[in-house]
Structure 1
Amino acid sequence: MNRPGTCPAAVAALAVAAAAEALVRFVASRDVAGAFLVLLAALAVASTAPLALRRDTTAALVVTAASVVALAGFGLFTVAGLLAQLAAAYRVGRRGALAVAVPLGLPYLVLAFFTPVGVVLAALVPGFALAGVARRVSRADAAHLAAQDAFAGTLVEHTARGERARIARELHDVVAHHISMISVQAENARLTTPGLPPAGAERFAAIGGTARAALTEMRRLLGVLRSDAPAEPERQPQPGLRELAALLDEARDASGSGTRLILRGPPVPLDPGVELAAYRIVQEALTNARRHAPGAAVDVEISYRADGLVLRIRDNGPGPGPASNGGHGLSGMRERAAAVGGRLRTGVSGPAGGFVVEATLPVPTEEDR
């Protein structure tokens, strides 16, 4: 309750005043035994014990103990009701505090017409104190949720950066191979072309030198990308669509369900970067299907069209749950498609459920061929 806008000392003073007023009336009007006073002290201690485990509870301890003392003059049943109210509010937390306070607090409001002001004050003060505690807990919950959201956003961004770096490293291998071939062919042409004039030889040499310089710069770029990444195993040749059959066999063995490869249209030569992206997208989609729809049948459909290569991976599982909003696997597939100029969409495959991943990747035009 130690927050701006609250006054725990005033609340505690009000509770003590109410307790004193009620206790004086009770002692003055009855013959109070020493055993009853001992029991009263024990009840006050018992009522404040749960609060002793929390921080900044001085005012709350005073309020609770004083309320028990004030209410004791009206019978142990009244004290038991207050203890039940405090214990229930302490256990249910912010969301249930109102539901507890209303039904347990209404009887005290009724008593206001028949009892001295002391009991009314003693009964209402803990309610206001609990309202302050609920407000404090609400603020703490909001801060905790905000911290969780910030951490989740940071994690997603970190994962996306790592995925982009991995894609860049794989594309580096593809592009480096082509540049190396340019350098080799330029040098070969300079040495083997009969009757090549000196100017032509110089141009071939310049082409080879430019290609080698480009390779050097690419290696520097790759070093920057690898500086923040963990060590990787020895690099292997990058896979393409020819390796899809083996990938589907592996998926069948892992899931034990039917996985079909459907080809539509005559195959056309594709850029190695596009083939790599297609393979990785299919691989990730199969992994997601095994993770989220184990045992479901999966169809992998590859269509060669004039406007692009279309990949459609569909399973007959239950589909995404109501709280599903995508994951790192889906963001990685989108990154791969975008890296080669393509696009990707995901969603429910039909009324009966299931999930579909559809990617459209560019194919070479007639001029490119």
Structure 2
Amino acid sequence: MPELTPLPAPRGLFAQMKPSARLAAVFSGLNVLMILLLVLLTKPLIIDADKLPTEPWWVLASGKVLLAGVLWAAIVVRLGSQVAGWRYAGTAVVAAISFLLSLYYQPLLALVYVVVLLRLQLGFWQAVGLALAVAFAAEFAWVSLLAQVNGDGLFGPWRYLLLWTVIAVLITTVVCGYTLLSFELGVRQAHAREALQESHALLRAYRDREIRHAHLEERTRISRELHDTLGHQLTAQRFELQALARLLPEEAGSAREVLGRVLDRNTEAIADVRRAVQALRPDVIGAGLAPALRALLRDWGDANVTLRIDGTESHVSQDAQLAVYRAAQEALTNARKHAPGQPLTLHVTFGAGDVTLTARNPAPDAHPTPVGGQGIAGLRERAAHLGGAAGGTYGEGEFKLWMTVKTNGAGA
């Protein structure tokens, strides 16, 4: 069976983002570019004309471009970093530059990209409501400050401040609304891609587990075949050779010498077969059946699986442990295949001379779990080799898989 090649890890912070975060970074970057063009072509509104900077235009333009680049980089870090400290730093930089932009130009300019960031954290209408509330408060404060700096001549009497604020908010709402609606269409597609990627990741993990399971099953089958065929034949041959040695007369010295060498070779062959069987038999049990089952559930990564163990595990043969372990794997596979998302209960009971596994999970009536498949048949065969029994039943919307084997059962 071909070896699986792991998927290459994405390089760069931008490539590691989720599709929705990557889309938000692109939208925010375009909005920051739009704001940059605006501030490059207009003078600050909050500062008196005689207090404007006197540096050359290219110096001021370079500073604005640098701030825009830092702002977008901070947004990308805030969206894509997996380190909490970097996310907090990105948020602080975005807040600081947004404050400068609001102080010298318009607080509503920052809303153009802030509303996109809010949408990733909140629902659509929650983001709209919060953005409008913040925009109205910030714009009213900004218009009031601008009126104090420039006098009432710019806006007329103070009673018109609220009117100017409402007009400004409405204009910005149209711009932000168009941006947010466009982003909403994209983010829904991005969320769909994220769900698809998660499904693909689950399928890849499921495929890998199935392949590992198939490898282990094939090794177990080969070891059983070696044990049941070649191992038994060599053992029977040894008994016959020993019987022949007893029948040879004492004076047949040369024949006894040759027969002794044949018996030695037979002993070596039996030892080789046992080593091969042991090497082929997968060592998944380790310290015991209970720890192996807990490790299996951790590897399976499904929170809907509950494991209950009654009794004390003692003097359980490795073959019996492996059989119960395989039954648990079969139960997990069946549950995920035929009843995904449904709770599964694994109940292991260690008795005086046997160990029993019972697995129960709800199964939809429209797609009942098959009880006569190859997996169940393999469990029956394995249990029979160990002096036990296994099976699966479906009824009243529940699928039940069970296996009972002798604790001292020995097989392949």
TM-score, normalised via structure 1 length? 0.41
